[in-house]
Chains A and B, each alone.
Chain A
């Protein structure tokens, strides 16, 4: 394999690999925001997921138990945000930022003794028998990828279906668009918001666990290195739609890979900014009120709900 084939295969397969944690975290944030709660704590929840996942994998030797614990760590942390922003109606942006700092700090503190230890029971990537031997398609999609990639893709489909084609999804969207109306319809606004924020936390936790248990099986403080923030930008970029999240996460993965692959031809300084420039461009284009509405931003996003107030 050489020339353009190596470029195509390499780019697609790395886009999927790097896109996996972004996909999980973005799917989670989509649900939280669909219910009207912005959670800027993704980075913190991912860091906690990464630490607890790693520690659990070391202790039990079972990477799947580790991923489950990583999810729970992210989920538990998200309840803090839910309590502050839904129950106490604190400013969601401030509470989310606090959660990020809390998550990074706590994982760093607890992780002291775990730094620099190798992990032998990591989650191994898989090649799907049969499919992995199809020319081009095999190495692109079915060789040495994470099981969490495939689960993530199925999850995106399921989450899209639930959000747009079931009563539950309708309830979530109603809470995000007009909590007062939803309340009048008999939907428990607080319960829905708590649940969606919790789902966001679980998925961010898995994204973190993926990083420390599979993607790079080791723990170091701050190893999430800004991925949580990318997930938040992606949420807006993909217009709060789980199906589009697939495209967004993998597109970002491809840009990230290419920013290293293309260094021979294009200035590395410029390439390094590429994915972020793309994010800023999209955000600027979609930030105006009308565009925001057209793209489907939940109308009550970021606004705490108080019963009886308009």
Chain B
């Protein structure tokens, strides 16, 4: 077990990350002390000022059904998570102080942090947290949280099927149990490894039980800021909260906070760099890779980056012609050169992926041998499958995460052409893509960063999972994945991942060229603003000089 893995392992068991770093004999990133999830204040950090951020300003309806990261960014200074996944991909305790699984990973005891004050003056209790978790596990809510293993394991199948043949679920009866004012227990239907990570995913911001959508009308949170003004498509103004709604002094649990105000100004993705260049904003949500040169020409601007597990899955539906023939899928995979696509789109940045959806940044990543391109082999496979004269395919891409997705698909098109595969690239608007993403036989879907490698596999490749867009179904894979998921010890889990990864890679379900890097941009006066693999803006300790 190397040191990094040890820290991940310890964090999983609820050991404070700071302690874990110490146990591993490594110097931990300086933390604010105790069990706080935030980095320590930098020496010379100054209080005051307003940070102006360029991002798309979205509505703030219901945090459990957020579908844009920007919505969560506007909300994170107001509402908080139970756990916080840091820029180093390590999960730390936030509104819950610690967590402890049973040996079979089916029962988790969660300790809610004490001394956390709501904006209305009440104290955060286990009852409040239980209310939120029950809500996230309600199949009628339409929250993407139900795709997360923890909340899925708090539901059971009724045995009925709806008119489309989808199995109907209902919440488990005794899934969430409140033990005392600050302790609760999750009785999961099956073993889950990622409870702490799931509780820090972007739709799990904790709301007060009096919550009624839209959040923007009456936001009650535990964070250091409150909403002063929201104009969708224009601006979102957050201000430090000093008084509770009933006039008492508000005490923030997370220690010192520096910014007086956080202003989000609406700039479309491609306009944000230009807005920073003319001084209209101090930091931007994301710097697209094609604008890095422009960003370098801005005097004093800081370009920050991080490697992630965000990716593009060019996935084929294994039960739809012609992809139901594995030889066709293998031919596509063999004709593709993942490393070349990565290099073309992201240059020296980003990491090459191997078509099995586990990333080097994941603690249980087992490195399989790199893929080699084999055009002759691809041609032979096509001939065997009866496509002597080549084959016409069509891939649908929505550019939900930026035009780089289309660039990757076009590179793929040019590569597979040599093997006699005529791939047409159909570009649809981003909003349109989410209406059809599960329906197209060959589609390029962007998958967000997840802190653990097993998380995306459980969501996208397990038989019958809500987001199983490729319709991949293999009992052996499911069993091997469950096996890995039931293993806390990281070296053992890593060894078990070899089988999981190999089955998925051999099944040729996806061409997954790369793990994309994330770049952000800030002006010289912004301190403590970090690139996050899941693009979470964590502004608690950011300050301005």
- Specify whether A and B are partners: no
Residues of A that sit less than 8 Å from B by CB = none
